[in-house]
Amino acid sequence: MSSKPSLRNALIALVVWVVITIGGGLLQAGGPSSLDGLVSGGIVWAIPLAALFLLVTYRGKWDQLGLSTSGSWREARPVVIAVALLLVLAVANGLPASSVLIFLAINSLAVGISEELAFRGVALRALRGTYPVRRAVLISAIAFGAVHSLNAIVTGDLAGAVTQSIFAIGMGMWAASIRVRTGSLSLPILLHGLWDLALFIALHGPVGSPLLLVASLSAIIFAVGLGVWGWRSVSTATAS
């Protein structure tokens, strides 16, 4: 990395990012709302606005965040396979109306961009300037999970938010490992967006269907398994 980033500045940027994301979501919804209802009812403008804030704040340093390079799919093969399987299960369970599907796709991509910029871009970059790579990956994943617990402010569902935060730690591990091993943020962004899209589509399928149960269990297994894979695969990685 070309220069040692400031962990303090990264933390400030992340706090502002959280305020924009959570506060903007609350304002748009007019109060607590289910996450599914929020992302399927229209574009959640706070998400791209939070990403734009980070892009402006770190202008001139996009290459250091991993935005100027493209990674090899071979480095992310287990995640690619898992995401493909989740998408197949979700689609097989039934697609929502086209208007809903469009909003789910737009919001999923926006979440992938915004959250990857925040945690595998800004946070991981700063942490790697202070800690060994494996510790940096772990801290960034725990922070990613902890922030997801704040979704309870938007949804009013604390138990659901805590559960989501636990799964997010696994996602944070595999996304960070791809970022470190390839030096690129593009693959984590795309795979994150497709992962979320698969889960949102599955949630819109018939309630209680066997495929929904299989998709849900698969997501749990993949999150944990890929998290372990990501943690073990990092070790001495030296990508930017």
Beta strands in the chain (DSSP E): none
pLDDT of residue 193: 97
Domain range annotation of the chain: 7-234
Q: How deeply is 143 buried, as exposed, middle or buried, from its count of CB atoms within 10 A (0-12, 13-18, 19+)?
A: buried
Half-sphere exposure of 235 (CA within 13 A, CB side): 4
pLDDT of residue 239: 47
Dihedral in degrees, nearest 10, Cα atoms 11, 71, 178, 53: 20
The pTM for the full model equals: 0.93
pLDDT of residue 3: 63
d(CA 139, CA 175): 13
pLDDT of residue 161: 83
d(CA 203, CA 129): 39
Tell me, what DSSP letter sits at residue 236? T
- Residue by residue, DSSP assigns 113-181 as HHHHIIIIIIIHHHHHTTS-HHHHHHHHHHHHHHHHTTHHHHHS-HHHHHHHHHHHHHHHHHHHHHHHH
pLDDT of residue 155: 82
**Could you read off the pLDDT tens digit of each residue along the chain, which spans 240 residues?**
456 889 999 999 999 999 999 999 899 888 788 888 889 999 999 999 999 999 999 999 999 999 987 778 888 999 999 999 999 999 999 899 999 999 999 999 999 999 999 999 999 999 999 999 999 999 999 999 999 998 888 888 888 888 889 989 999 999 999 999 999 999 999 999 999 999 999 888 787 788 888 988 999 999 999 999 999 888 755 545
Tell me, what DSSP letter sits at residue 20? I
Cα angle 212-170-32, degrees, rounded to a multiple of 5: 65
Residue 193, Cβ neighbours under 10 Å: how many? 22
